[in-house]
Structure 1
Amino acid sequence: MKRVFTLFLCILGFSLSIFAQDEAPVEVETSVVKISDTEYDLIFNVFIDEDWHLYSQYNPEDASLPMTIKPSVGESGFTLVGKAKESETHTEFSEIWGVDEIFFIEEAVLTQRVKIDDPSLRQVTLNMDAQVCKEFCLPYEDDFTFSLDGGEIIATVAEVDEKSQELAGSLKLDLKNTDLLETSKPVNGEEDKSSNLLQIFLLGFAGGLIAFLTPCVFPLIPLTVSFFTKQSQTKGKGIRNALLYGFFIAAIYALLSAPFHYVDSLDPEILNTISTNVWLNVFFFVVLVIFAGSFFGFYSLTLPSSWSTKIDKASGIGGFLGIFFMALTLAIVSFSCTGPILGSLLAGSLTTDGGAMQLTAGMGGFGVALALPFAFFALFPNLLSRLPKSGSWMTTVTVFLGFIELALAFKFLSNADLVGHWNMFKREIFIGTWIVISILTAIFLFGYFNPKGIKVKRVSAFRLLLGLLMIAFAVYLAPGVTKNPKWNQNLLSGFAPPQFYSVYEQDNECPLALNCFKDFDEGMAYAKSVNKPVLLDFTGWACVNCRKMEENVWSNNEIYNTLKDKYVLISLYVDDNENKLPAEKQFDYVKPNGRVKKITTYGDKWATLQTVNFKNASQPYYVLMSPDLEVLNSPQQYTDKITYYNWLKEGLKNFED
């Protein structure tokens, strides 16, 4: 199973390497033993969560990362006496790396002796950098300060100065009616969540059906089904084995999302942090462009042949296990066609609220759609003769997918531009790029252009119709590049940058040109001066559902006028991590678990404000309150126009009462 996860974990590992983990499946306690006036043993007692393991300092260099213990940056006045002594370790052969790996399970004791060179030195700080793994790995790095005076040991919790304490204290709001936050939910919140998961499942299902039509999967249908029906002793057993084969295909793709659930449980903010990171969005842009190139036929993306060879041999075991490895072989062999579609699904799910559950729904839908033909034709093998033969239509499908991948790639470049405040890829440029891609797609479908260099003898009616639809889509987008579009491109809601992010001069940088504040204290002060209730809008530059709410719900006349005339809008962008807070307003925030989070940007501050006061880390997240911090009704999230308007009216009524 680890082999299947390796490519998937490359993306996950890249993501996690960017961010320091606020939580990890290990806990460390420290102590000091004085050996002499100049030598001390600094002891790390490490407690490791069940099913996890921590790699030793002596783990091979060509395997998982070994632990290191060294002086923290800037530390001096002492030297380490050799490597730390280790308690009992475990050794196990790794099929991934091909070597014996050395690691701890459950508990580890590391004793690092130090020699004091500066007699006035009263404390020593060491850095531990390690890797802790289960089915996937997480980095663990922290500084530990040891007191040499025999007093209480200062461990992972840093001391914060009075200024930090004061600023951190200001994040905790003195809210009234907090029972509304704890016991109430949006009127149709659970329905919306279920509906959203169903939409993602159906989207993944559609992706699986498309993958079925690609050259890597389609030819395998008759081969595989014929194998099961002919090799089995009875027809019933052949059908049972083929159905089991389909089940394993679906299960393998669904399991690819499993690691994200654990990452999400470690830190509710982490998936949002990953999805809004500038350089990760650039990474996704590059990956999707590479995937598009493979669909255009410029090169072929394949997993190492040794993987499929070894797993194919395992498929000869027989029984359930053999069928499972046959499904695994299919997943690896078909990667050159399914990988780009799965990559888009992975990236897209990580940029939406509830990424882990949505990723499972999407991957599950993809696996079910891919497995369905195998099960169907196993039940009705006579229909195999009616399958169309492989041919030029497959080239049309793959090249068309290449253009879709290219269009999706620019969405991630747009995210990076928005979050990074580069001011380069404005709304009109984004829409213009999609217009060009739509026209190129139409030209390809009409037979005048083919990236693979294959001449089209005859354009089918279906290609002609699809080409005309792409031209119609380009015409639909065209007004979006003008200063005052004659109609709104609602189909682009959530994909294109917000309307105020324009190459043309705008009156303000608020949604729909509403008056808004982007600082909580300033907005609350204004609300108090005019005695109006507040709509607290936790949003994000790269938040798809936030744009959909603004462009499809807030644009409703009744809702727009209510927001404009009756409320003070405070929009807090939780992913605004490029705008630094003034130096005097930066501080260290000590979390309940003792960890310290450095608040250096506006995004850090607003994300922490949301989690501290509302125990929620998703966007959009709307709260109605009075200028005196009285919560007026239950918070609202992504919903429909009627529900949102009634919610706004209820807040106004409660404010007036």
Structure 2
Amino acid sequence: MARVLLLALSIAALVSGKEDPVQWTLSPVNNITQIAPGNKAYFQLKATIQPGWHLYSPTTPPGGPIITKIRLSDNPVLASYNVYRPQPVRKLDPNFQIDTETYTAQAVFLIEATTSKSASAASTIEASVRYQACTDVKCLPPVKKTASSEISFLAGAPAGSFSIPRDYALVPAAPSANPTPISGSAAPPARVPERNNEPLLPFLLTAFGFGLAALFTPCVFPMIPITVSFFLNQSGSSTSGEKSGGWKQALVFCLGIIVLFTGLGFLVTAIAGPFGVVQLGSSPWVNGFIAIVFFVFGLSLLGAFELRLPSGLLTKLNSASQTGGYAGTLLMGLTFSLTSFACIGPIVGPLLIASVQSKGAQPVAGMLAFAAGLAAPFFLLALFPSYLQKLPRSGGWMVRVKIVLGFIVLAVMLKYLSNVDQVLQTYWLTRERFLAAWIVLFALPGLYLLGLLPMEGIKKDDRLGVSRALIASLFMIFSISLMPGLFGGRLGDLDAFVPEASGTVFGNSAVQAASAPGSYFKNQLDSALAAARQQNKLVLVNFTGYACTNCHWMKANMFPRPEIQTALKDMIVVDLYTDGTDADSERNQKLEDQKFSTVSIPFYAILDADQNVIATFPQLTRNPQEFLSFLQSKPGARQQSTAMLR
């Protein structure tokens, strides 16, 4: 409604006649027009505003009127530039229901430009401004104006001593195609090295273990003796021999498995792209799709229905795989992988999702390790067929594995449903509801294994063995251990996977408790910098996410530590969420990319009130002393504190 009213006022202004209440001029600060190549040049862009009129600051929050946008036209003598805005007047606009930022009478914007080292000839610097002028009763349509100033270059020209006043703030959105450098830097910052939160080897071993675990699913285990016997028959060997000639067929079969799953890894890598972790990991649509897939898999494993590939496709694949030779065996491996996906999918899914939390080809490496774990027993049993006779027989235990896996898959599904809830900020899946559902979902397999939940795989007169009782006890203990979380208790590492308690800001209760009033902000960097100037403190900028597990872990387990809270008392803390669907998240992610050349989260930076970078910390850490040392960084220690990133 407010936008409609604004449009109507603009049209009325057009009808009433042309008005031009704002005049713009561009001039060098202190009339310094001669610059040494590579030095900084400072310009003031002055808006002279007629009485009764006002225009809106570049940092007016989104969802309101049209803001003032300033940019310099492309010029080979300029390497980069920053725009700073003066302190505006903030007040609530009743039409937009937000605090707008306005200027009246006069506004002087400052432009800090870094000149090219190769600049030599004199040049005209042109600034373009798009803005909207309004009174209390009408607004003019947005207009674009330009203003220009001359600059010349002389080697050895003295550098000016001008510095940006403290009451000026950097305009966050970069108007240039070039990355905007950090205030006080002579050039754009170097790219922050991306570091995986976990080493690659443990991930590969985990993926290999997942592949071995997939062998014990009902879709795979019964096929082991049948498939290996096929290899032996092809080579004329028997299951009683110590060594077999069927290893070549088995090797080709394993290659078919590896090709399919590694191809899946390549597909995920291509979709994720260079910054896939944020776009895929936090997208509500991706998380919602994953939740639906896991829900379907879970119900299928619990016996609600059976997932099958189209019969026509299976018939064609089976016919092709029976042609004999190595080509037929390769197709047999592909067919086996596809037909077993109903059971393997719930295991592959979390592995793929975990793999996109690192850049590069980790999904490919993860799927390669998974496929190797799944395929290795087929090859080894074909090489040593006598061990086939020692495999446990298929039976009721496989049905029990399927049922238990179904409950676990439904629990994992809730995690991705929670991601959707947090990113969209609907807050209906609260911590209490989430944990209540998890308590039930992890108690049900325990009750089932104890024979107290009538489902297939366990009969009333079945004897309760030691192994079944032990596994049931583990599920029951885990379920009970979640109960303190319903009443505000901490759950350790599990806090990273569940929503924060009601009344706190996504794990920031510890941060808010440590911070003095007016020392914690969410998505308000300018306000945090203003508070830093008033209180003479440094600013801890926390680029974080609603659906970022590692971010939640840091907030739940690192920030509450006494020594960390003590350090936070001397700082202004601002959380900048980058993975939401709102304008704040888009602006925060763009700021992180432009200022630090990364979009990874969590990412921490300590700034002074003038936005000079003191130190950066680009990842999760479980070492409190390491994080405390970062928080204790002081001005002048930038080179030393960033050295740890190399």
Could you state the TM-score of these two structures normalised by the residue count of structure 2?
Answer: 0.65
Query: 1:259 aligns to what?
Result: 267
Q: CA deviation at 1:293?
A: 0.7
Q: 2: distance between equivalents of 1:497 and 1:327?
A: 42
The answer to whether 1:201 aligns with 2:204 is yes
Letter in 2 for 1:232: S
* Secondary structure, aligned partner of 1:535: strand
The answer to whether the 8 Å contact 1:180/1:634 transfers is no
Query: 2:215 aligns to what?
Result: 212
Q: CA deviation at 1:645?
A: 2.3
Q: 1:643 to 1:307 in 2, by over 3 A?
A: farther
Q: 1:547 to 1:436 in 2, by over 3 A?
A: same
Q: 1: distance between equivalents of 2:264 and 2:629?
A: 40
Written as runs of structure 1 = structure 2, the 5 A alignment for 1:207-246 is 207-232=210-235, 237-246=245-254
Q: CA deviation at 1:544?
A: 0.7
Q: 1: distance between equivalents of 2:375 and 2:186?
A: 48
The answer to whether 1:463 aligns with 2:468 is yes
Q: 2: distance between equivalents of 1:167 and 1:470?
A: 50
Q: 1:651 to 1:244 in 2, by over 3 A?
A: farther
Query: 1:603 aligns to what?
Result: 585
Letter in 1 for 2:432: E
The answer to whether 1:539 aligns with 2:539 is no
Q: 2: distance between equivalents of 1:224 and 1:169?
A: 61
The answer to whether the 8 Å contact 1:181/1:614 transfers is yes
Q: C-alpha offsets along residues 4-30 of structure 1, whole Å, 9 cap, x if unaligned?
A: xxxxxxxxxxxxxxxxxxxxxxxxxxx
Written as runs of structure 1 = structure 2, the 5 A alignment for 1:322-333 is 322-333=328-339
Written as runs of structure 1 = structure 2, the 5 A alignment for 1:161-310 is 161=130, 168-169=173-174, 172=180, 174-176=182-184, 181-182=189-190, 185=193, 190=195, 192-193=196-197, 195=199, 197-232=200-235, 237-265=245-273, 268-310=274-316
Q: 1: distance between equivalents of 2:375 and 2:637?
A: 53
Q: 1: distance between equivalents of 2:492 and 2:302?
A: 30
The answer to whether 1:339 aligns with 2:345 is yes
What do you get for the CA RMSD once the two structures are aligned? 3.0
User: Which stretch of the first structure deviates more once superposed, 311-320 or 407-416?
Assistant: 311-320
* Secondary structure, aligned partner of 1:225: helix
The answer to whether the 8 Å contact 1:225/1:377 transfers is yes
Q: 1:264 to 1:280 in 2, by over 3 A?
A: closer
Query: 1:481 aligns to what?
Result: 486
Q: C-alpha offsets along residues 168-201 of structure 1, whole Å, 9 cap, x if unaligned?
A: 337946433588952765xxx75x5561x33433
* Secondary structure, aligned partner of 2:174: helix
Q: C-alpha offsets along residues 327-353 of structure 1, whole Å, 9 cap, x if unaligned?
A: 101111212211232234334545x35
Q: 2: distance between equivalents of 1:430 and 1:178?
A: 49
Query: 1:574 aligns to what?
Result: 578
Letter in 1 for 2:402: T
The answer to whether 1:383 aligns with 2:387 is yes
The answer to whether the 8 Å contact 2:255/2:330 transfers is no
Query: 1:512 aligns to what?
Result: 510
User: Which stretch of the first structure deviates more once superposed, 208-217 or 160-169?
Assistant: 160-169
Written as runs of structure 1 = structure 2, the 5 A alignment for 1:80-99 is none
Q: CA deviation at 1:387?
A: 0.4
- Equivalent in 603, 613, 617 of residue 631 of structure 1: 613
Query: 2:400 aligns to what?
Result: 396
Q: 2: distance between equivalents of 1:471 and 1:628?
A: 54
Query: 1:443 aligns to what?
Result: 447
The answer to whether 1:408 aligns with 2:412 is yes
Query: 1:85 aligns to what?
Result: none
Query: 1:491 aligns to what?
Result: 493
Q: 1:257 to 1:232 in 2, by over 3 A?
A: same
Q: C-alpha offsets along residues 256-286 of structure 1, whole Å, 9 cap, x if unaligned?
A: 0212323333xx4454223322243233222
The answer to whether the 8 Å contact 2:197/2:619 transfers is no
Q: 2: distance between equivalents of 1:464 and 1:428?
A: 29
* Secondary structure, aligned partner of 2:606: strand
Q: C-alpha offsets along residues 400-450 of structure 1, whole Å, 9 cap, x if unaligned?
A: 101110100111111111111112111122112111112212111101114
Q: 2: distance between equivalents of 1:493 and 1:646?
A: 24
Q: 1: distance between equivalents of 2:477 and 2:296?
A: 28
Q: C-alpha offsets along residues 435-490 of structure 1, whole Å, 9 cap, x if unaligned?
A: 1112212111101114437525122211111111112112211111014x2xx211
Q: CA deviation at 1:521?
A: 1.0
The answer to whether the 8 Å contact 1:523/1:570 transfers is yes
The answer to whether the 8 Å contact 1:180/1:633 transfers is no
* Secondary structure, aligned partner of 2:496: coil
Q: 2: distance between equivalents of 1:643 and 1:254?
A: 37
Letter in 1 for 2:587: K
The answer to whether 1:619 aligns with 2:601 is yes
Q: 2: distance between equivalents of 1:623 and 1:608?
A: 15
Q: 1:547 to 1:194 in 2, by over 3 A?
A: closer
Q: 1: distance between equivalents of 2:410 and 2:472?
A: 17
Written as runs of structure 1 = structure 2, the 5 A alignment for 1:32-43 is none
Q: 1: distance between equivalents of 2:365 and 2:565?
A: 34
Q: 1: distance between equivalents of 2:415 and 2:599?
A: 23
The answer to whether the 8 Å contact 1:626/1:655 transfers is no
Query: 1:552 aligns to what?
Result: 557
Letter in 1 for 2:606: L
Q: 1:540 to 1:567 in 2, by over 3 A?
A: same
Query: 2:369 aligns to what?
Result: 365
Query: 1:645 aligns to what?
Result: 628
Q: 1:395 to 1:652 in 2, by over 3 A?
A: farther
The answer to whether the 8 Å contact 1:198/1:361 transfers is no
Q: 2: distance between equivalents of 1:179 and 1:445?
A: 64
Q: C-alpha offsets along residues 530-581 of structure 1, whole Å, 9 cap, x if unaligned?
A: 222222111100001111122232233222321x223221110112224xxx
How many residues were matched structurally?
460
Query: 2:529 aligns to what?
Result: 524
Q: 2: distance between equivalents of 1:388 and 1:508?
A: 48
Q: 2: distance between equivalents of 1:653 and 1:288?
A: 51
Query: 2:12 aligns to what?
Result: none
Q: 1: distance between equivalents of 2:129 and 2:399?
A: 62
Q: 2: distance between equivalents of 1:392 and 1:652?
A: 66
Q: CA deviation at 1:493?
A: 3.0
Q: 1:252 to 1:204 in 2, by over 3 A?
A: same
Which structure has the bigger radius of gyration? 2
Where does the alignment leave 5 or more consecutive residues of structure 2 unmatched?
1-127, 133-141, 145-170, 238-242, 641-646
Q: 1:326 to 1:178 in 2, by over 3 A?
A: farther
Letter in 1 for 2:578: V
Q: 1:449 to 1:521 in 2, by over 3 A?
A: same
Q: C-alpha offsets along residues 307-329 of structure 1, whole Å, 9 cap, x if unaligned?
A: 23222222245444333211101
The answer to whether the 8 Å contact 1:200/1:358 transfers is no
Q: 2: distance between equivalents of 1:371 and 1:450?
A: 35
Could you state the TM-score of these two structures normalised by the residue count of structure 1?
Answer: 0.64
Letter in 2 for 1:293: L
The answer to whether the 8 Å contact 1:231/1:238 transfers is yes
Q: CA deviation at 1:236?
A: 5.8
Q: CA deviation at 1:299?
A: 0.7
Q: 1:490 to 1:447 in 2, by over 3 A?
A: same
